[in-house]
Amino acid sequence: MPQLRQNIITGEWVVFAPERAKRPTDYISISTERKQKKSDCPFCIDSTKSEYPKQIEGLEKKHTFVLKNKFPAFVEDPDLESAKLYKIEDEFYNMKIALGGHDVVVIKDHDQELPDFTPAVWTDLIETFKQRYNYFDKIENVEYVMPIYNHGPQAAASIEHPHAQVFASSVVPNIVSRELSHTAKYFTEHKSCAFCDMISHEKEQNTRLIFENDDFVALAFYAARFPFEVWVLPKKHQSHFRDLTEQTTAALSEMMIKIFGRLNETLNDPPLNFFIHSAPVNKEKNEELPNYHWHIEIAPRLSIYGGYELGAGMVIDIITPEQAAEYLRIGKR
């Protein structure tokens, strides 16, 4: 029977209608051939044709460097006062300038794909995300910072060279707003963090847990919106991603390598996105929110949303997270 499952973090509903007993091989997408050569690549440092802006200084590491996005979704405005307020457009609509920032974090090695990142690459990437978070935290209009990664053309990676992006916005993004308000409600009712409770519950149940180490768990999310969706969470309650230490960064790198290795093995290098959800920036105060727990969501892009998903804002998923966890734990097809 199809099921409705409620997302305990946002309160939203997801429909599970498993089509039939499918195997992971049914989800393997035909891999598209890689065509972009290093000589035509805007991110290869030695490319003479690069029209890309210069690196942001002081952020280069052994394996990564940072550029400002050539076509930014959010811009830094030198005239801070100008953009604080909503403007009424046509005397009718609300509008404001999309302030913030939009960086590209480039992995130096053109040929090193996400599933092959070494611990050293992960460390440089995570360290850069933290540095940019701390930078945007000091910018007056920035309310939120979100690092993301697109892997594969079906996951909107328009340039093949491996790269992450950091979005800084003057508004808290819609999904994060829902997570914040629903977990605040949960906290009022239960006097505990929904994420911490979910981690304990998943460890007890042991049907959706995929991996754990001393500091992190990886699980197939109960109300997944994507087949094989995986969440990675720190075991200890922590609201801000930037509070990762050297030790927990190493543990996170280990976890990411295992998860992407297993997704690659099971689904043959699926297109995917991942993003980091952390508490909104709070101007260097670094206050812990009792209801919010930072986490990483990994979304393989194996299904296409249809009219119902768009019309209902409610997703129909065709593989249960219990099945997905079973495959990902042992890496079988």
Q: Which residues bind Zn ion (CB under 5 A)?
A: 41, 43-44, 110, 161, 193, 195-196, 237, 277, 293
Smallest separation (angstroms) from Zn ion to the CB of 159? 8
Pick 194 or 302: Cβ nearer Zn ion: 194
Q: 123 near 60, Cβ under 8 Å?
A: no
Smallest separation (angstroms) from Zn ion to the CB of 194? 8
Smallest separation (angstroms) from Zn ion to the CB of 82? 32
| Angle, vertex CA 184, rays to CA 195 and CA 322, nearest 5 | 30
Pick 193 or 324: Cβ nearer Zn ion: 193
Smallest separation (angstroms) from Zn ion to the CB of 170? 20
Smallest separation (angstroms) from Zn ion to the CB of 293? 3
Burial of 21 (0-12, 13-18, 19+ CB in 10 A): exposed
Pick 77 or 143: Cβ nearer Zn ion: 143
Pick 102 or 225: Cβ nearer Zn ion: 225
Smallest separation (angstroms) from Zn ion to the CB of 102? 20
Pick 102 or 293: Cβ nearer Zn ion: 293
The SS3 of residue 89 is: strand
* 143 Cβ contact list (under 8 Å, min separation 6): 169, 170, 171, 172, 280, 281
Pick 52 or 268: Cβ nearer Zn ion: 52
* 42 Cβ contact list (under 8 Å, min separation 6): 49, 50, 51, 52, 159, 161
